[in-house]
Structure 1
Amino acid sequence: MTDQPAAPQPVPDPAAPAPAETRAVSGAPAPAEAPAAPAAPAAPALPESGETPEAAQTPGTQEAQEPPESLATPESLETPEEQAARRTRRRKAAVRWSCAVLVFALAGTGAAMAVTTPERTDIPGLATANDGRYTFPPLTLPPLPSGKAAPDRKGKVLHYADLRYLLLPAPKEAGGSVTAPVFPVPTATPSASSSATPSDAPSASPTPSASATPSASATPSASAASSASAGTALASWVPCDAILAEQKDPAKSRGLLLQNVCRAATVREWTASDGTRTQIRLLRFGSSTEGWDTFSSLRSDSPAKAAPDAKTAPHSDWDTVDGVDVTLKDSPETAGKGVPTTRLAYLSASDVVAVITMTNPQGVPTSAFRQVVTLQSDLLA
């Protein structure tokens, strides 16, 4: 067999340390061992639940870390003097805003009071345009005599108050007062013997007497005229047959008054600043039946001299007054826009009959006529 060449043996490095076994045999001292290289830090293992490394840190680690200077708040960097100045500025700003809010609140309250306290018609820009209505004083019912009841709505109770106090007062536009009248204590019903009281019955002469003609005795006296100018002053008694001078057929109207026995009569007249002349006449009878019979005849069979051809006017859209029956009439003569120059109203309230006549060559305003009729009905209801 051919001998195989022996493998070359490694030549020992003289600088390399001898094996421990050789050192131990030779008895040479062992050289000092070199320090071991630091081990590389192991990467933190991720928890199985999927939490981030920050969440896996212990609580103590987060508390121990301090925020960097770039994340610090301005307050933490201010000095005590600067913090005090900043608080002072905030307080001043709060005071200024509070004062501004208070000023706006006071201004708004003052403006609201300035608009709501006075009458709307006294505020510029809010006043309602005049539509022809008048300015009357507050309506006041007169006191009743002791033991007497107010008239009911069925006509079974009569009017026991002084008939002159049931007349509508003159408006401000006719020189009247806007102050409510003050009534004296009621006295006994006027007797027929008094010269200032109405007669128990109209004159029975076949022709109209002097009182039926438009003389001083038939028309309101000087005291009545002054009463009309005073507005709320007491009206005067007039004879019942004074109304005959206003009728187209006085003889027929006289028979009506004799049949139903008119007990008392009074009248008030005025002329407003718009030129409208108004006359309100009240007649009292002994019962509601007599009053109704006179009312029915006057409105249908006794044409007025001021408008003998007057036609009945509808008033279904008017506010009705319970206990008062109303019939309206307009003359065929009209002014601008077809406004009648004469308007009549007949009212029946238990034992009292009212005749309202309003005339104006320029046309009687509808609003004024409606106002007068409604207010007079309120006093008689």
Structure 2
Amino acid sequence: MSEQTAVPATEPEPEAAAPSPAPVMPPMPPMPPVPPAAPSRRPPRRLLRAVARWTTAVLVCGVVGAGTAYGITSMERTDVPGLATESDGRWDYPALSLPALPADAPRPFSKGNTAEVHYADVRDLLLPAPAGATADKKLKGGWVSTAQFASEYREHERADLTQMLKDSALRHIAARGWTVADGTESRIYLLQFNSAAYAQAFFDDTYISSSPGPGLRWPEDLQLDQSWEDGGKVPGTRTYAYGESRSGEGRIHQAYIRAGDTVALLVQKQPGKKNAPVIPFRQTLILQNQLLG
């Protein structure tokens, strides 16, 4: 550095320079004007409340409807009000099945069984009583005497009928009876002969094929049931149904079934019921016929 620019040592220090003022920021340009807000499209509060109510109602109805639909589809028809099937008077019989046969024994109408013999115990072929019925103390499903069978008929018919059975190769008689809650009495007798030919002879000798045969213990003679169409009849069997509804004692039905070596008598009495339904009688007749087939 040259002497001319040297600072003398005795020279007083210059006064401190005043601090320079802070730079001044130029003023902010004016902000562009804010555009006016678009007019609100929000629906009136009253409309919102109405929409909310309808939405809630639709959701509730959907949930309830789905629950109801599930409930109905999971119910039995008879449990749904308005869809229940009205009872036609049928009785509640237990599930039926044919009894087991001895080894190599054929069914009564099988090929080769020319005598049409029931090889099953005939007591096992009796129709069981329906649910809720009271069993007859005399007719419990076992063997009964010819005198018991004859007691179903008018007194003046019994001696000849008993003798006829003794002369007709009758093997035995099984019987069951019951009474249901409304007082209807039912009795079924199964008469088993040595063969179908003897069973047919019993029919012919008592004129059952053309009439009710010996008169039942009843004030009036029975008439052929013209409305019976032999429904549910098992092939190879024959059924004959008779009925009477004029007596003041009530209504009575009678039917015979001829099935191979066995003859069935069904008697059903409805006391004090002139116009009682015929359905229970026909139901019982059809089921007993099926067991004998």
How has the CA–CA distance of structure 1 residues 237 and 125 changed in structure 2, closer, same or farther, with 3 Å as cutoff? same
Write the distance in 2 (CA, Å) between the matches of 1:115 and 1:342. 42
**What does the per-residue CA deviation read over 1:73-97, in whole Å, with 9 as the maximum and x for residues that have no partner?**
xxxxxxxxxxxxxxxxxxxxxxxxx
Write the distance in 1 (CA, Å) between the matches of 2:292 and 2:220. 27
| Structure 1 partner of 2:124 | 165
Write the distance in 2 (CA, Å) between the matches of 1:106 and 1:148. 61
Instruction: Spell out structure 1 runs of 4+ moving beyond 6 A.
Output: 103-107
| Structure 1 partner of 2:159 | 251
Which stretch of structure 1 is more off in the superposition, 151-160 or 246-255? 151-160
From the two aligned structures, give the one with the greater helix fraction: 1
Write the distance in 2 (CA, Å) between the matches of 1:344 and 1:138. 24
| Structure 1 partner of 2:13 | none
Segments of 5+ residues of structure 1 without an aligned counterpart are: 1-99, 177-218, 228-234
| Structure 2 partner of 1:372 | 284
Segments of 5+ residues of structure 2 without an aligned counterpart are: 1-58
How has the CA–CA distance of structure 1 residues 241 and 175 changed in structure 2, closer, same or farther, with 3 Å as cutoff? closer
From the two aligned structures, give the one with the greater strand fraction: 2
How has the CA–CA distance of structure 1 residues 362 and 173 changed in structure 2, closer, same or farther, with 3 Å as cutoff? farther
**Equivalent runs, 1:92-131 vs 2, <5 Å:** 114-131=71-88
**What does the per-residue CA deviation read over 1:327-350, in whole Å, with 9 as the maximum and x for residues that have no partner?**
111125257xxx961110111100
* 1:345 has 2:255 as partner: yes
- TM-score, with normalisation over the residues of structure 1? 0.52
Write the distance in 2 (CA, Å) between the matches of 1:264 and 1:341. 30
| Structure 2 partner of 1:263 | 171
The number of residues matched between the two structures is: 223
1:146 to 103, 122, 125: 103
Write the distance in 1 (CA, Å) between the matches of 2:70 and 2:197. 54
**Equivalent runs, 1:164-203 vs 2, <5 Å:** 164-174=123-133
| Structure 1 partner of 2:142 | 236
- TM-score, with normalisation over the residues of structure 2? 0.66
| Structure 2 partner of 1:324 | 237
**Equivalent runs, 1:199-214 vs 2, <5 Å:** none
How has the CA–CA distance of structure 1 residues 119 and 352 changed in structure 2, closer, same or farther, with 3 Å as cutoff? farther
**Backbone CA RMSD of aligned residues:** 3.0
Secondary structure at 1:360 match in 2? strand
**What does the per-residue CA deviation read over 1:289-331, in whole Å, with 9 as the maximum and x for residues that have no partner?**
1112223426333111235511111245441412221111112
Given that 1:241 and 1:257 are in contact with CA atoms closer than 8 Å, whether structure 2 keeps it comes out as: no
How has the CA–CA distance of structure 1 residues 148 and 240 changed in structure 2, closer, same or farther, with 3 Å as cutoff? farther
Per the TM alignment, residue 286 of structure 1 is displaced from its structure 2 partner at its CA by 0.4
The structure having more radius of gyration, on CA atoms, is 1
Write the distance in 2 (CA, Å) between the matches of 1:104 and 1:149. 62
* 1:293 has 2:201 as partner: yes
**Larger RCO (CA within 8 A; separation ≥ 6):** 2
Percent identity at matched positions? 32
Secondary structure at 1:281 match in 2? strand
| Structure 1 partner of 2:40 | none
**What does the per-residue CA deviation read over 1:214-233, in whole Å, with 9 as the maximum and x for residues that have no partner?**
xxxxx954xx5xx5xxxxxx
Secondary structure at 1:341 match in 2? strand
